[in-house]
A and B are shown apart, each in its own frame.
Chain A
Amino acid sequence: MITIKGLHVSIEGRDILKGIDLHVRPGDIYGLLGPNGAGKSTTIFALLGLREYESGHISVLGYDPKNHGAILRRSIGVMPEHAGFYDWMTATAYLRWYGRFYQCPSTSSKVEELLEKVGLKGEGQIPISGYSRGMKQRLAIARALLPRPRLLILDEPTNGLDPKGRREIHDLLTDYARDGSTAVLLSTHLLDDVDRLCNRIGIMDQGCSRYEGSLMDLLTQGKGSVRYRLHLESEPDAVVMPAGMDLLGRDGDWWQVEIQLKASEGPSSYWRELWRRGWPILEIRSEVSSLESFYLDTVAPSHLQLRETV
């Protein structure tokens, strides 16, 4: 769905991207990780055809964004980091207006259905000026999902959401990517989001790709299983574990589990199964976060180098 090889971007003579490689396949929920200023947003804008690039190769849904930007954006839903809206419009009017750019039939009922999906049921007729930050975040996700895109690009989608809201958005995204023909590119610095959702990750730092690969390979590192701690809101109705998951113990509201990871997918299928069985999960943490330590090991050396040069 997305292939980027050796991407170089300069803005006003400054090298912003200095060799980015990125590959997103159908069915992927791809986590693009990196510290602030790593070049994540610039990479996203380049693949949407909004930022020109000096060298390298980009192919998105088979198109070159340099020449076919407007065409390929018809099949992409984007949630930018700063989700602005016309505050004087209602959410329903805004989504109906925005949907017309994609030439998709955005009827009132379809818009209401979408608003319900993102947790804004009954809020569609209120002017957006009356929305809280979390509500605007949900509306931005609705805007991205509106054209039923083949590719969904989300920049910090769970910023400003409470734990329940985050879980709802996680469910929405895993449902969206489930059919295997679509893909999600998730740019974030919340490792918990990546831990929960992604099957593949790419780590960027200072405009360069530092790592790209399967999250499972990274987490298991030959062990085949990973331990997590789950923070539950209340006791689950029944403590029956899905196949491949073992309950190791509990400490107050925190329950310790071990899961056998499948190479092709992330742990999200287990969490979905637990939610289905009525486990009120508020938070999920890796027992020993391989991802966190790997991430810090990957980006820290370059930061140290930067500090020395400063």
Chain B
Amino acid sequence: MKMYQLIAMKEGRQMMSSRRGLVWLLAFSCLLSAFSLLLVSNTELSLLDNAQVVNMMCGTVMAVGALLAVVLGSDAYAGEKERGTLVPLLCAPIDAQALLVGKALGMLISWAVMFLVAMPYLWAVGASGQNLGAALFYLALFGTPVVLGFGYLAMAISARTGSVLASLMSMIILLLLSAGPLLIGPGLRATVIGRTMDMVNPFAGALNTFDSVIIDSQSFADQAGRFLLVAVWLALCLWVARRKAAHPEFQ
């Protein structure tokens, strides 16, 4: 077994078998249950058509996934440092890049589990519509690079600062800034500033794609520009993480 696989195996087991991981999954399930219940029972929300409901849920799953990546990424180096487990890892014959890849794979396992947990909920609210398959496909295709990008960036800050709190605070602010333009009204988003922010914001890019393919049934070719945006985002975050994780703060 390769070094990065050993790290990923540990990360996956830690997430899935630890109390923290189980609490996270339970909270995520409760959130999706409450959301589904609201969509069915709330007078105004129940008027939304099927595609809009699936679109909203895809956005929620990606946002929670990005939050999970931020938490795991912040803990990846700084958390290990604070618990005294980073130095023994660095003293073993593990290449710094293998450590990063292993940690990213562990994060990907957690995202995959979240994705699996979300599937029955998406099916429950969207099975009667026509775009459930597309929703799942685009959630995987656009959601994964966005989530992983946030995770890489959190790992970079975590490796550089050696502080979970510093990394977590910085990344939550960045996550809120990314999601911020989506919270402002449609009128403001239609302005030059709003459109520019949509163009450079990978989070907005992914959400707009969900909107286009799930509600408007657009084709993949129409989403090429947005896909490029999330791909560039992932590549940029990976580049930063590789640089910072090459010499993590451990002492």
A-to-B contact residues, CB < 8 Å: 11, 41-42, 45, 48, 50-52, 70-71, 73-74, 76, 78, 80, 82-86, 88, 97-98, 100-102, 140, 143
A84 touches B93 (CB 8 A): no
Inter-chain contacts of A85 with B (CB < 8 A): 85, 88
Which of B9, B14, B88 has the largest number of chain A CB atoms within 10 A? B88
Scoring B residues 219 to 251 as 1 if CB is less than 8 Å from chain A, else 0, what string do you get?
000000000000000000000000000010011
Scoring B residues 78 to 104 as 1 if CB is less than 8 Å from chain A, else 0, what string do you get?
001001111110111111000000000
**Distance to closest chain A CB from B191 (angstroms):** 44
B250 touches A101 (CB 8 A): no
A70 touches B91 (CB 8 A): no
B-to-A contact residues, CB < 8 Å: 1, 3, 6, 9-10, 14, 17-18, 80, 83-88, 90-95, 247, 250-251
Main secondary structure of the interface of B (DSSP, over half): helix
A73 touches B251 (CB 8 A): no
Inter-chain contacts of A76 with B (CB < 8 A): 91
* Docked CA distance A181–B204 (Å): 62
A88 touches B251 (CB 8 A): no
* Docked CA distance A100–B98 (Å): 14
In the complex, residue of chain B having the shortest beta-carbon distance to the beta carbon of A50: B90
* Docked CA distance A80–B88 (Å): 7
CB < 8 Å: which of A50, A52, A97 contacts B91?
Answer: A50
Tell me whether A48 and B91 are in contact in the complex, defined as CB-CB below 8 angstroms, given that A84-B84, A86-B14 are known contacts: yes
Inter-chain contacts of A48 with B (CB < 8 A): 90-91
* Docked CA distance A85–B1 (Å): 21
CB < 8 Å: which of B6, B85, B93 contacts A71?
Answer: B93
**Distance to closest chain B CB from A78 (angstroms):** 4
Tell me whether A70 and B85 are in contact in the complex, defined as CB-CB below 8 angstroms, given that A45-B251, A97-B6, A100-B6 are known contacts: no
Tell me whether A84 and B91 are in contact in the complex, defined as CB-CB below 8 angstroms, given that A41-B251, A97-B6, A101-B6 are known contacts: no
A143 touches B88 (CB 8 A): yes
